[in-house]
Structure 1
Amino acid sequence: MNPTGLQWFKSSYSDNGGQCIEVAANLVAARGVVPVRDSKDPDGPALAFSATAFVSFVDAVKRGEFGQG
């Protein structure tokens, strides 16, 4: 994935000691893709998920399905 032109943001809930991800929401409406990267390594690799898969992940996190790290 070419990260050029992506508009990355970190959740306002990400004040947890550096265990954060960033997403680039500007591709969701255009392509239905959610790019995700490690906020500590902005020049590192990014993963791309379908919007549906990302919504399912966020819902599972909200329900506490992954526990606390």
Structure 2
Amino acid sequence: MAKPPRVIGVLTEPARPTWWRAHRHKVLFVAGLFLGYQLAIAAGAAPAEQPPRPGHTTPALQGPVHITPRHSN
């Protein structure tokens, strides 16, 4: 006759996870949203005052300027 099977190990249900292990992804997500919001608010809170820019982009001429009138024919 065949031998009966031997017991090698016993399966048990794993212990219930702690509250932190079960909910840490939610806590870290909310903390990340809060910190991101705070950084976004702080970055745009008070922009630096900039002096007005000139209306032209050509450099100022050095020395006297000679303008010759155009003659129409």
Q: Same fold (TM over 0.5)?
A: no
Name the structure where strand makes up a greater proportion of residues: 1
TM-score by length of 2: 0.23
Name the structure where helix makes up a greater proportion of residues: 2
Structure possessing the higher radius of gyration over alpha carbons? 2
